[in-house]
Amino acid sequence: MQRMTALFSAVLLSAGVMAAPAMAQDTDAQTQQPQAQSAAPATDFSDEQLQQFADASQEIAAISQEYSDKLQSADDESAKQEVRMEANDKMVAVVEDSGLDVETFNAIGQAIQQDPQLMQRVQGMVADQ
């Protein structure tokens, strides 16, 4: 159980790290807030979306670990920023390859933090793999 909690902690940390740059890619800042506000409280995700989140979460946790090590060994702030951008690109690609968009992935991550039953559903999906 601690392994699952650690996995989701890493994933949620990763989701937070990738949320800002992904949102920064949008050109209209005014449309970002309504999307984020409407996505955050949603908890009626389909089993398919939750499974996609679970699958992507495992890959993102691995990327997060790999790039955490690279970040620690980066020489200066410029190198660290380059590592962050590379990690972000990989994490966004994993999320999109899973069939989710970044906003939905982040919304599920937020919902999991607030809903222990939803967390258990997703953990069950990870455990069944």
Contact criterion met (CB below 8 Å) for 101 and 111: no
Number of domains observed in the structure of the chain: 1
Q: Residue 42's pLDDT is what? A: 56
In a domain, 22, yes or no: no
> What range does the domain containing 66 cover?
47-129
In a domain, 15, yes or no: no
Q: Residue 128's pLDDT is what? A: 77
Stretch 33-61: mean pLDDT:
75
Between 110 and 24, the more confident residue is 110
Give CA–CA dist 126/80, Å, rounded. Answer: 31
Q: Residue 56's pLDDT is what? A: 94
Instruction: Give the model confidence (pLDDT) of 77-106 as tens digits.
Output: 999 999 999 999 999 999 999 999 999 999
Check: pTM over 0.85? Answer yes or no.
no
